[in-house]
């Protein structure tokens, strides 16, 4: 986020999808995205679980799995 004194302290952020500058104000309907297209592309990635964090089974999870088989 950046603030520019020449623009009455309007904060700008980079669009998470295309990195375009977006003014953080109520007139920016899709903030933090620059457009509906970028917002929908990001939602599509989320729906496909592209943002998931891979996890490995720790020792505690292995014990729970073994108990569930009974």
Ranking 16-20, 24-28, 64-68 by mean pLDDT, the lowest is: 64-68
Domains of the chain, CATH where assigned: 2-68 (3.30.50.10)
H/E element, 66: helix 59-68
Per-residue pLDDT reduced to its tens digit, 20-47: 999 999 999 999 999 999 999 999 999 9
How far apart (Å, rounded) are the C-alpha atoms in residues 50 and 15? 18
- Residue 13 in contact with residue 1, Cβ under 8 Å? yes
* Global confidence as pTM: 0.60
Report the percentage of the chain scoring pLDDT > 90.
49
């Amino acid at each position: 986020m950046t603030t520019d004194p020449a623009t009455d302290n309007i904060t700008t952020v980079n669009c998470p999808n295309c990195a375009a500058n977006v003014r953080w104000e109520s007139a920016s309907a899709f903030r933090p995205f620059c457009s509906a297209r970028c917002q929908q592309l990001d939602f599509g990635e989320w729906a496909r679980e592209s943002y998931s964090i891979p996890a490995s089974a720790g020792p505690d999870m292995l014990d729970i799995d073994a108990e569930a088989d009974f």
